[in-house]
Chains A and B, each alone.
Chain A
Amino acid sequence: MALKYSSITKKVIMSLAGLFLIAFLFVHMTVNLLVLINDNGETFNKAAHFMVSNPIIQFMQIFLFGGFIIHIIMGIVLQIQNWKARPKRYKVAPYSEMSPFSKFMIHTGMLIFLVLIYHLYNFFFQAKTGNIEHVVYNGTEYEDMAKLVLVKFRQLPHTIIYIIWLLLLGFHLDHAFHSGLQSLGFNHNKYTPTVFIISRIIAIVLTVGFITIPVVIYFYRQLPV
């Protein structure tokens, strides 16, 4: 089905899925940053519990996974078509004055996807399968996600993998927001320069926001006893 869509329809689908994923990343980052509150993870655990138990959010999870799958499959289909469109490559690689990251979306995308599986295994599936310690606040039992995060990010190799992964995500996001709007047809000589600035700010805020977590935990947090 993805093959039959016209080039522009594919771009539009790619863009809508991508913009949705940016929105998701902001929610994800905001909840994650709660783990840095120094209250033995109580706020974060309660927020994490809300995210896994609220029926509306559980329903939205279908769209989230759908968004990921569509973005990945459509990206691969488009890339294969694009490679096929130039069967013989140039001896001197084409020079372009535009952002270097825009040329490597498939490469950063594939690497992000590979570590994403590792990430889901580390946190999402640990919590989903109940393979996690519990903690009690005011008589109610919660999954101790905060402890899981602390344990993981006290390990140097793990922290380094996450920082590299998040930098790759940042490079991917640098060609995300403005590109998505362009694909949807939003380009205006008055607003597009601002859109480019917003796009870079989104990439920097998300990357720095996420990277803060492993870095702060590794250097400034002790494992709870």
Chain B
Amino acid sequence: MDLTLKIWRQPNASSKGKFVTYKIKDISPGSSFLEMMDELNESLVTKGDEPVAFDHDCREGICGTCSMFINGRPHGPDTGVTTCQLHMRKFKDGDTIVIEPWRARAFPVLKDLIVDRTAFDKIVQAGGYVSVNTGGVPDGNAIPIPKVDAELAMDAAACISCGACVAACKNASAMLFVGAFVSKFALLPQGRIEAHERVQKMVAEMDRQGFGNCTNTGACEAECPKLITLENIARLNREFLAAKLGARKGENVRGGGGI
């Protein structure tokens, strides 16, 4: 396959950046998108040029680092996969492929296609955990959990924090990500203990980080590599309302987001 690549090049966070066009030849349709990028970079290094910087780690669709916005879609033209799982057979010989970094105020570009996703870490630090006190190992079957709830919690926990939801959303909203994090704990008895505090803290931090608001368009659900559903955003809304409306006097967690 011979391809034309238009790639966003930006030397560092403070520089302006621009699209640069590259021609690449003899790409195997069986290779992955990142292997194609590797071949491009090898040719650039051979020529003495700066290789294209992009995030990647596990290359098996589980780490969530390979953030690329390919031809208008996060992780490219395939459903339920990350960029590393995308194969070149999804493109045609002679195609032009436009590759951009995630675009969101909360995800500043560090270099070329690499963005800083610290904003997600901040949201998780705000409440995306359960407090476990030390002591003996509890019996695995001591707390019974309905099968349906366990499955739904696992579906939500499939989120790999890649940021495709933010990248796809016309508002750069992080609600699918926060919805998945709130859901995976809210559905389980261990997570219920801190549920109200968690949802308020995570939403307040999400707002503080400068993500947009959800308008229920559903682009996040369509583009999520782990197929997280909008049901999780509805659960986030429910949990938030229950926490705010049901809180006893003086118990409301106040954050940067107000009420």
The residues of A with any CB-CB pair to B shorter than 8 Å are 4-12, 78, 81-82, 84-99, 102-103, 105, 175, 178-179, 182-189, 192
Q: Of B98, B214, B244, which is within 8 A of A11 by CB?
A: B214
Contact (Cβ within 8 A) B244 A93 = no
Contact (Cβ within 8 A) A8 B72 = no
Contact (Cβ within 8 A) B234 A92 = no
Known: A9-B244, A105-B215. A186 touches B100 (CB 8 A): no
Known: A86-B103, A187-B231. A96 touches B222 (CB 8 A): yes
Least distance between A182 CB and chain B CB atoms (Å): 5
B59-86 contact mask (Cβ, 8 Å, vs A): 1 or 0: 0000000000101110000000000000
* A interface secondary structure, majority: loop
Q: How far is the CA of A78 from the CA of B172 in the complex (A)?
A: 12
Known: A91-B98, A92-B71. A98 touches B207 (CB 8 A): no
Residues in B neighbouring A94, C-beta threshold 8 A: 69, 72-73, 167-170, 219
Known: A8-B240, A94-B170, A179-B215. A86 touches B104 (CB 8 A): yes
Q: Of A93, A185, A192, which is within 8 A of B72 by CB?
A: A93
Contact (Cβ within 8 A) B216 A7 = no
Residues in B neighbouring A91, C-beta threshold 8 A: 6, 8, 19, 98, 100
Known: A86-B105, A96-B222. A8 touches B237 (CB 8 A): yes
Residues in A neighbouring B21, C-beta threshold 8 A: none
Contact (Cβ within 8 A) B216 A179 = yes
Closest residue to B241 on the A side, CB-wise? A185
User: With contacts defined as CB atoms under 8 Å apart, how many contacts are there between chain A and chain B in the complex?
Assistant: 147
Residues in A neighbouring B8, C-beta threshold 8 A: 91
Known: A82-B212, A90-B103, A99-B218. 7 other contacts (CB 8 A): A7-B207, A85-B212, A91-B8, A91-B98, A93-B72, A94-B168, A96-B217
Interface presence of B180 (CB below 8 A): no
Contact (Cβ within 8 A) A8 B105 = no
Interface presence of B171 (CB below 8 A): yes
Q: How far is the CA of A105 from the CA of B212 in the complex (A)?
A: 15
Contact (Cβ within 8 A) B218 A102 = yes
Interface presence of B135 (CB below 8 A): no
Known: A6-B258, A85-B173. A185 touches B237 (CB 8 A): yes
Contact (Cβ within 8 A) A84 B244 = no
Q: How far is the CA of A98 from the CA of B168 in the complex (A)?
A: 12
* B interface secondary structure, majority: mixed
Interface presence of B156 (CB below 8 A): no
Closest residue to A192 on the B side, CB-wise? B231
Q: Of A4, A7, A98, A188, which is within 8 A of B218 by CB?
A: A98
Contact (Cβ within 8 A) B258 A8 = no
Contact (Cβ within 8 A) B172 A86 = yes
Least distance between A27 CB and chain B CB atoms (Å): 25
Known: A86-B104, A185-B235. A96 touches B213 (CB 8 A): no
Q: How far is the CA of A104 from the CA of B106 in the complex (A)?
A: 23
Interface presence of B89 (CB below 8 A): no
Q: How far is the CA of A92 from the CA of B103 in the complex (A)?
A: 12
Known: A9-B259, A81-B213, A92-B98. A98 touches B234 (CB 8 A): no
Contact (Cβ within 8 A) A82 B170 = yes
Residues in A neighbouring B210, C-beta threshold 8 A: 84-85
Least distance between A94 CB and chain B CB atoms (Å): 6
Q: How far is the CA of A138 from the CA of B66 in the complex (A)?
A: 78
Contact (Cβ within 8 A) A82 B172 = yes
Closest residue to A178 on the B side, CB-wise? B216
Q: How far is the CA of A87 from the CA of B212 in the complex (A)?
A: 11
Q: Of A7, A78, A85, A103, which is within 8 A of B104 by CB?
A: A85
Interface presence of B195 (CB below 8 A): no
Interface presence of B236 (CB below 8 A): yes
Residues in A neighbouring B223, C-beta threshold 8 A: 96
Contact (Cβ within 8 A) A7 B257 = yes
CB proximity to A under 8 Å, residues B106-124 = 106
Q: How far is the CA of A9 from the CA of B71 in the complex (A)?
A: 34
